[in-house]
Structure 1
Amino acid sequence: MLLRHAVGAALRRIRLEDDRTLREVAGAANISMPYLSEIERGRKEPSSEILAGICAALGLTLVDLLGEAADELRVDRTPNLASIASSHPASHSGYPVAPPVRPDGAVLAAA
């Protein structure tokens, strides 16, 4: 799971738990409703200023949001490295893409 997916999932969950609409939160954060939707779906990676505005609209701090995003990442402990590698621009360029490597240096087998 990418960080933008974890942040988006956390924002959506918090917004829904607060029973708030996209329109309400986007208006309070001074961003467009489609942009907030894209952020929540993990399709856009917002600046820290935009995130601060969304957090303020939800009554959160950036630290709160990052803690929630960390929880989302902990739930998804097994990243799909093959899909991350295949979505990398180099995988479509005709050049070989390095295989995924664990932190201890061991090369992971291709899926």
Structure 2
Amino acid sequence: MADILPFQHRHATAPDREPEPLWREALGRTLRTAREEQGGRLVDVADRAGISPQYLSEIERGRKEPSSEMIAAVTGALGVDLADLLTDVAGAVRRRPGAVRTPGRRPAGPVLLAA
């Protein structure tokens, strides 16, 4: 028989560190903020994106891991640039309280790519 391995819950971290956020949670918060800043209703944005209001609500609450096509549909419905959205999500992950910078990782800031 196989050994039973203990499951390490994602919130089981060192006591002095915040748990790592899930990307889908940061994405959902960012999408909800964008929608609310525009004064958009969930049902209207969902309709423009071609998805159900329930599914959009689950995305915004970080309950669903949307496909790239769904993210593109929602950003299109919001009139938000996908690159700007991804930058905002990455910034939200970096700004979390208790974040510890890993040695060797680049500091937050603009990314310059060589041509």
Compute the TM-score of the two structures, normalised by the length of structure 2. 0.66
Alignment-mate amino acid for residue 65 of structure 1: L
Q: Distance in 2 between matches of 1:62 and 1:18?
A: 16
SS in 1 for 2:26: helix
Compute the TM-score of the two structures, normalised by the length of structure 1. 0.68
Which residue among 45, 50, 54 is the counterpart of 2:70? 50
Q: Distance in 2 between matches of 1:44 and 1:78?
A: 25
Q: Distance in 1 between matches of 2:36 and 2:98?
A: 26
Within 5 A, what are the aligned runs for 1:1-111? Answer: 1-78=21-98
**What runs of 5+ residues in structure 1 fail to find an aligned partner?**
80-101, 105-111
Task: Extract structure 1 runs of 4+ deviating beyond 2 A.
Answer: none
Conserved in 2, the CA contact under 8 Å of 1:52 and 1:61? no
- Count of paired positions: 82
In percent, how many aligned pairs have the same letter? 49
